[in-house]
Amino acid sequence: MVKTEQDSDPRVPVTILTGFLGSGKTTLLNHILTEQHGKKLAIIENEFGEVGIDDALLKKNTKLQSEEEIIEMMNGCICCTVRQDLVVVLKRLKERVDRGDLKLDGIVIETTGLADPAPVAQTFFVEEEVQQFSRLDGIVTLVDAKHIEQHLDAEKPEGAENEAVEQVAFADRMLLNKTDLVEEADLVRIEKRLKSINTNAPIVRCTQSQVSPDSVLNIRGFDLDKTLEMDPEFLNTEGEHEHDDTVTSCSIVEKGSVDFEKIQSYIMRLLREKGTDIYRMKGVLSVAHCQKKFVYHAVHMIFGGDFAEEWEEDEERVSKLVFIGKNLDHEELKREFVDARFDQDAFEEQKRNLRFKVGDEVSCNATDGWADGVVVKQMYRSEFMPPGFVAPYQIKLTNGTLIYAPMDNDDLIKKRA
Ligand SMILES: Nc1nc2c(ncn2[C@@H]2O[C@H](COP(=O)(O)OP(=O)(O)OP(=O)(O)O)[C@@H](O)[C@H]2O)c(=O)[nH]1
């Protein structure tokens, strides 16, 4: 086979992963990292919120890799404040490769959902050392089929750019993700709209960002000439862009645990009342009476959450949440979160107010009707109970069976006659 100039290019290919908040970038990275592709990748993660949550979500999967992966984190908007950090990270990788400590098959940069990919891409053409070491292979844009139209339509203040439009315009390939959430007719309409912004980039439909790593990595998609044709100012480093100032990120980090019921109603109420303005919510929560971390995500009103791995023995229990959205009232978000904290004093008080003490003889409304027994424990919890749930009593029935009363009322448990 005849080798093209690009085939023999020894520089490390770089993929910029972009796409609006919640479109599926981390899901794609997790998919790439768990898939056996035999490539040694460096991942550069960038988050808009001050609290890193994606690294916690990614860490789990990287453990699955036999080869050590390199993950670098940067906070802030990659296209503004941390662009210089990106250069530093790239130079550090270059030094390791030059020393022979590291052989790299690719670099993937996950930008924040609010980043304009152009200035990130620019880095690979204006920084000489970076240019010698790496080449921009492609800008891959994740598109959330459910929410993209709303973001493309968003009215921006004078002078501020629409990041969703920029992300589509600069894509070398688009992954139209979350196809499970819309109908065929919607997909056709969206594809037409995407094509009207960017005629060149192929569009691949997918769910859960499930595409072959080969269709994302080393695709030789980026073409500087075409980009300059579209944006003659592309290489002009002076031309700074402006973000919409009404879009902010609010992070909460709180030691201790939350009350599961209260936190659920807090999150659900936010989704219901502020779902349009909150683009993105993410969190890792420490739930009282629960050994596992609760990890959740929301993109507008679509919520997904689950109990993930257990807290380590010596790990400090702390909850971390990030909200990104329009017109966020940071104080209110924090205040209401604080109200959902687990209150040890209230818990003790509840315990003191229980009607029965350990040793009291009671009758319980068990599965086969009323049965006699003795209270053996107050505020009882077992791992088979729903997360965060504590039963007021554990009771030993006269036949020896251990049961629990889920509530302290006469319909379920009463004084033995
Ligand atoms: N229904 C559905 N949900 C999806 C799909 N792909 C991803 N998600 C969910 O969408 C949410 C956001 O996905 P992420 O991969 O974290 O999105 P992201 O682009 O990295 O988000 P940011 O880092 O906030 O910009 C998660 O809860 C995913 O599980 C899909 O195809 N269908």
Domain 12-230 classified CATH 3.40.630.10?
no
> What gap in Å lies between CA 269 and CA 129, rounded to an integer?
50
Strand segments (E) across 190-317: 203-205, 247-255, 278-286, 292-299, 302-310
Give first-to-last CA distance, the chain, whole Å.
92
For 65-103, what is each residue's pLDDT tens digit? 334 456 665 555 555 555 677 888 888 889 888 998 888
Which residue type is seen at 35? E
**pLDDT level of residue 17 (50, 70, 90 thresholds):** very high
Helices and strands, counts by H and E, the chain: 12, 17
The residue whose C-alpha atom lies closest to atom 14 belonging to ligand 1 is 24
Query: What is the whole-number distance in angstroms between the Cα of residue 159 and the centre of ligand 1?
Result: 29
Query: What is the whole-number distance in angstroms between the Cα of residue 8 and the centre of ligand 1?
Result: 36
Query: What is the whole-number distance in angstroms between the Cα of residue 23 and the centre of ligand 1?
Result: 5
Which CATH number is associated with domain 247-343?
3.30.1220.10
> What gap in Å lies between CA 220 and CA 135, rounded to an integer?
10
Residues of the chain with CATH 2.30.30.140: 352-415
> What gap in Å lies between CA 345 and CA 355, rounded to an integer?
18
Per-residue 3-state assignment (H helix, E strand, C coil) for 94-163:
HHHHHHCCCCCCEEEEECCCCCCHHHHHHHHHHCHHHHHHEEEEEEEEEEECCCHHHHHHCCCCCCCCCH
Task: Enumerate residues 6+ apart whose C-beta is below 8 A from 140.
Answer: 15, 16, 17, 18, 28, 171, 172, 173, 174, 175, 216, 219, 221
Query: What is the whole-number distance in angstroms between the Cα of residue 415 and the centre of ligand 1?
Result: 52
pLDDT recorded at residue 67: 44
DSSP 258: B
249 φ, ψ (degrees, to nearest 5) = -120, 140
Dihedral of the alpha carbons of 360, 364, 366, 368, in degrees to the nearest 10 = 110
Query: What is the whole-number distance in angstroms between the Cα of residue 405 and the centre of ligand 1?
Result: 39
> What average pLDDT does the structure give for the chain?
84
**pLDDT level of residue 309 (50, 70, 90 thresholds):** confident
Token pair for residue 401?
């069976």
Query: What is the whole-number distance in angstroms between the Cα of residue 313 and the centre of ligand 1?
Result: 30
How long a stretch of residues is the chain? 417
In the three-class reduction of DSSP (H, G, I as helix; E, B as strand; rest coil), residue 364 is classed as strand
Which residues pair with residue 324 across a beta bridge?
249, 280
Q: Has residue 282 got a pLDDT over 70?
A: yes
* Range in 31-35, 56-60, 106-110, 163-167 the model is least confident about: 56-60
> What gap in Å lies between CA 139 and CA 274, rounded to an integer?
32
Q: Has residue 398 got a pLDDT over 70?
A: yes
How many Cβ atoms from other residues are within 10 Å of residue 309's Cβ? Answer: 12
* CA geometry: angle 351, 355, 356, nearest 5 deg: 90
How is 262-290 classified by DSSP, letter by letter?
A: HHHHHHHHHHHHHTTTEEEEEEEEEBTT-
Residue 176 and residue 203 in contact, taking contact as beta carbons nearer than 8 Å: yes
- Which ligand 1 atom is at minimum distance from the Cα of 209? 6
* Kind of pairing between the strands at 106-110 and 41-47: parallel
Which residue type is seen at 118? A
99 φ, ψ (degrees, to nearest 5) = -70, -15
pTM for this predicted structure: 0.72
How is 317-359 classified by DSSP, letter by letter?
A: -EEEEEEEEES--HHHHHHHHHHTB--HHHHHHHHHT-S--TT
User: Which of 28, 278, 299, 320 is the pocket-test mutation for ligand 1 (most atoms within 8 Å of CB)?
Assistant: 299
Residues of the chain with CATH 3.40.50.300: 12-230
| Neighbour-count burial of 120, counting CB atoms closer than 10 A to its CB (0-12 exposed, 13-18 middle, 19+ buried) | buried
> What gap in Å lies between CA 218 and CA 221, rounded to an integer?
8
Q: Has residue 403 got a pLDDT over 90?
A: yes
* Kind of pairing between the strands at 361-366 and 318-326: unpaired
For 236-258, what is each residue's pLDDT tens digit? 666 555 666 777 778 888 999 99
Pocket of ligand 1 (CB under 6 A): 19, 21-27, 54, 113, 142, 177-178, 180-181, 207-209, 280, 297, 299, 304
How many Cβ atoms from other residues are within 10 Å of residue 417's Cβ? Answer: 7
Query: What is the whole-number distance in angstroms between the Cα of residue 45 and the centre of ligand 1?
Result: 15
User: Which of 78, 297, 300 is the pocket-test mutation for ligand 1 (most atoms within 8 Å of CB)?
Assistant: 297
pLDDT recorded at residue 68: 42
Query: What is the whole-number distance in angstroms between the Cα of residue 24 and the centre of ligand 1?
Result: 4
Which CATH number is associated with domain 352-415?
2.30.30.140
Percent of the chain at pLDDT exceeding 90: 41
Residue 194's Cβ-side half-sphere holds a number of Cα atoms within 13 Å equal to 30
The residue whose C-alpha atom lies closest to atom 32 belonging to ligand 1 is 178
